[in-house]
């Protein structure tokens, strides 16, 4: 059972504590009385050439950049050091980002522009930080299954809450890990973005799923899962409820999809059993990444949930985990083909990647 306690930081931002058992005192107030109000000029601009959105967040250039460990803003507030989390301990804590790319407050300052070809509007969404552990040197793969379950419940709870906000069309839970992908705070944490649109990559996925359903009556992701299980060579690990596999057309050197066998649209729709099972499978998948090269790898892990208001019936939940490390000491960079043409060149075959993630073959 996950218990939530709600509070606010000194500047009015929301903070939610999630605990695995009742009776935790999370009432400590935020004592940073001089905390300046969050400012935002987040703007969403439409690019008609590529039918794409960009988020312009000019106010973020001055955000916290690799603070020393003893000034980590995600550690609990202890020994007179005041952080983003007033409590002296916590299990999982979620709060509004102090330097948000998207903010529900943007509507007050950013105008709507509808003068084609120029179209833009406020970045009327939400950016939240999810702290997975109060221990600064912890990592997701090292969390206990109980803690992973609490994180899953927090993701699901925040997805439900953000889905009820009028301007938010997509809730995106993700974790960036590692300096190599630009993570400026090493404390184990993820993020939740509530986008005021369906991101194009997921919009196209919804479109593909809907067309497949119309043509065949089936779910595309269910069909793919069955095909992957039949093929076998790209399966990494599986359980009663979940399968982790390297996709046939993987973009990244090591990339895994974690998919429920059941056709479920999003995290809030997961049953108690599926959440419990996921806690084990997801942690297992992350651990396999860190075993690849004998050292923690930089990775991105993200949840592909159904859009809030469209195509929910055809959408099948999945997590995607990938690393940009392609070999010891070597990273996969996004250069011309990837960044400009949108075509990933992958130097590791998905079958070899799966064998290495299973532990059947050495990778280094």
* Binding to a copy of itself in span 319-358, by CB under 8 A: 320, 322, 326-327, 330-337, 339-350, 352
Instruction: Indicate the residue among 11 and 338 with the shorter CB distance to a copy of itself.
Output: 338
Sign of the torsion angle spanned by Cα atoms 147, 153, 157, 163? positive
Tell me the window of 39-47, 157-165, 235-243, 261-269 that interacts with a copy of itself (CB under 8 A).
Answer: 39-47
CB of 45 to a copy of itself, least distance (A): 4
| Subset of 150-179 contacting a copy of itself (CB under 8 A) | 172, 174-176
Q: Which residues contact 358 (CB under 8 A, 6 or more apart)?
A: 235, 236, 237, 288
Q: Considering the rule CB under 8 A, would residue 27 count as an interface residue with a copy of itself?
A: no
Q: Of these residues, 59, 187, 189, 316, which one is catalytic?
A: 189
Among this protein's residues, is 189 annotated catalytic? Answer: yes
Q: Is the dihedral of CA 178, 181, 187, 191 positive or negative?
A: negative
Q: Which is nearer to a copy of itself, 29 or 50 (CB)?
A: 50
What 3-state class would DSSP assign to 73? coil
Task: Identify residues 50-79 at the interface with a copy of itself (CB under 8 A).
Answer: 50-58, 60-61, 65
Angle between helices 145-163 and 272-291 (to 10 degrees): 120
- Piece of 42-50, 139-147, 261-269, 276-284 that binds a copy of itself (CB under 8 A): 42-50
Give the dihedral sign, CA 10/12/13/14: positive
The residue from 141, 161, 205, 357 that contacts a copy of itself (CB under 8 A) is 205
10 contacts a copy of itself (rule: CB under 8 A): no
> Which letter, b or e, does each residue of 105-121 get, where b requires 16 or more Cβ atoms within 10 Å of its Cβ?
bbbeebeeeeeeeeebb
Q: How far apart are CA 249 and CA 201, in angstroms?
A: 15
Q: Is 201 in the site for a copy of itself (CB under 8 A)?
A: yes
Task: Assess 39 for contact with a copy of itself (CB under 8 A).
Answer: no
Q: Which of residues 213-232 bind a copy of itself (CB under 8 A)?
A: 220-221, 223-224, 227, 231
> According to the binding rule CB under 8 A, does residue 128 interact with a copy of itself?
no
What residues contact residue 237 under an 8 Å CB cut-off, 6+ apart?
A: 243, 244, 281, 284, 285, 288, 358
Q: By C-beta, is 87 or 317 nearer to a copy of itself? A: 317
Contacts to a copy of itself from residues 255-284, by CB under 8 A: none
Q: How many residues bind a copy of itself (CB under 8 A)?
A: 79
Nearer to a copy of itself, 8 or 139 (CB): 139
Q: Does 191 bind a copy of itself (CB under 8 A)?
A: yes
CA distance 198 to 28: 37
Q: Which is nearer to a copy of itself, 30 or 320 (CB)?
A: 320
Which listed residue (31, 112, 118, 359) binds a copy of itself by CB under 8 A? 118
Q: Evaluate the omega torsion of the peptide bond into residue 280 and state whether it is cis, within 30 degrees of 0.
A: no
Written as one string, the DSSP assignment of 135-153 is: -TT--GGGS-HHHHHHHHH
Contact flag: residue 49 with a copy of itself (CB under 8 A): yes
HSE-up of 257 (CA within 13 Å, CB side)? 23
Helix (H) or strand (E) holding 321: strand 318-323
> What's the rounded Cα separation, in Å, for the pair 352 and 339?
25
For a copy of itself, the closer of residues 71 and 113 by Cβ is: 113
List residues with catalytic annotation: 189
């Amino acid at each position: 059972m996950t218990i939530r306690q709600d509070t606010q930081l000194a500047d009015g931002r929301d903070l939610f504590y999630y605990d695995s058992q009742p009776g935790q005192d999370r009432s400590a107030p935020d004592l940073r009385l001089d905390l300046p109000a969050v400012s935002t000029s987040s703007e969403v601009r439409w690019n008609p050439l590529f039918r794409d959105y960009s988020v312009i967040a000019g106010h973020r250039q001055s955000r916290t950049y690799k603070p020393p460990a003893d000034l980590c803003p995600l550690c609990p507030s202890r020994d007179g050091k005041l952080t983003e989390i007033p409590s002296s301990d916590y299990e999982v804590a979620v709060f509004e980002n102090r330097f948000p790319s998207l903010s529900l407050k943007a509507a007050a300052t950013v105008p709507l522009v509808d003068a084609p070809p120029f179209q833009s509007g406020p970045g009327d969404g939400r950016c939240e930080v999810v702290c997975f552990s109060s221990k600064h040197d912890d990592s997701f793969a090292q969390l206990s299954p109980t803690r992973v379950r609490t994180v899953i419940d927090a993701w699901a709870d925040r997805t439900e809450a953000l889905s009820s906000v009028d301007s938010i069309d997509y809730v995106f839970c993700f974790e960036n890990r590692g300096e190599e992908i630009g993570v400026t705070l090493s404390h184990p944490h993820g993020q939740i973005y509530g986008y005021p649109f369906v991101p194009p990559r997921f919009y196209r996925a919804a479109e593909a799923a809907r067309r497949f359903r119309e043509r065949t009556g089936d779910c595309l992701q269910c069909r793919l899962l069955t095909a992957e299980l039949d093929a076998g060579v790209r399966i990494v690990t599986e359980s009663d409820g979940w399968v982790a596999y390297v996709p046939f057309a993987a973009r990244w050197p090591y990339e895994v999809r974690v998919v429920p066998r059941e056709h479920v649209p999003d995290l809030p729709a997961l049953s108690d059993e599926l959440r419990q099972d996921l806690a084990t499978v997801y942690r297992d998948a992350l651990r396999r990444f860190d075993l690849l090269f004998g050292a923690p790898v930089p990775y991105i892990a993200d949840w592909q949930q159904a859009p809030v208001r469209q195509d929910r019936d055809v959408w099948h939940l999945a997590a995607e985990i990938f690393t940009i490390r392609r070999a010891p000491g070597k990273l996969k960079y996004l250069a011309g083909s990837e960044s400009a043409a949108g075509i990933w060149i992958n130097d590791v075959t998905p079958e070899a990647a799966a064998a290495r993630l299973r532990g059947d073959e050495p990778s280094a």
